Amino acid sequence: MSLALSQKTIGNIQVLVLAGEIDAQTLPPLEGKLQELLDKGHYSFVLDFQQVSFIASAGLGVLMSVIGTIQENNGDLVIASAQPEVYRTFDLLDFTTLFKFTDSVAAGVALFPNAAGVQGD
């Protein structure tokens, strides 16, 4: 399986739309994109997981590796539309306390204080 990744910006929030499986083999594009955006000073993220069918520990590790930097810079990383099986993986490892989860990208965008009046999909 592969991982497709696209990016859009809503206000100053970076929305990454992911489709496929997140594992050690498919992880490099996601890891690279997150690092590229962090290097450019972006710290507000919504990851659209609607089409993500699986996340392995390697994927969780990458998210863990960036959440500290994001939060230290007054940002956040929200996971939107996670499938029940994917959410369960986060929950089993108690990662649901580290990340915010929403039912839609729009709800994720709305969690950011500077998103007032910004429309997501």
User: In the prediction, which pLDDT does 121 show?
Assistant: 45
Can you give the pTM of this predicted structure?
0.92
User: In the prediction, which pLDDT does 50 show?
Assistant: 98
The mean of the pLDDT values for the chain is 93
Please identify, in words, the CATH class of the domain defined by 3-114: alpha beta
Better-scored residue on pLDDT, 107 or 115: 107
Q: Quick: pLDDT tens for 25-61.
A: 999 999 999 999 999 999 999 999 999 999 999 999 9
The two tokens of residue 111 are 């969690």
Q: Which residues contact 59 (CB under 8 A, 6 or more apart)?
A: 22, 23, 27, 30
DSSP state of 57: H
In single-letter form, the type of residue at position 105 comes to: V
Displacement of CA 96 from its chain's centroid (Å): 13
- Determine how many CB atoms are found less than 10 A away from the CB of residue 59: 23
Q: Is 118 a residue whose pLDDT tops 50?
A: no
Say how far apart CA 11 and CA 8 lie, in whole Å: 10
Say how far apart CA 11 and CA 112 lie, in whole Å: 10
Strands across the sheet containing 44-55: 3-10, 13-22, 44-55, 76-80, 100-102
User: In the prediction, which pLDDT does 115 show?
Assistant: 62
Three-state SS at 24:
coil
The sign of the CA dihedral 90, 96, 98, 99 is: positive
Q: Which band of pLDDT confidence, cut at 50, 70 and 90, is reported for residue 6?
A: very high
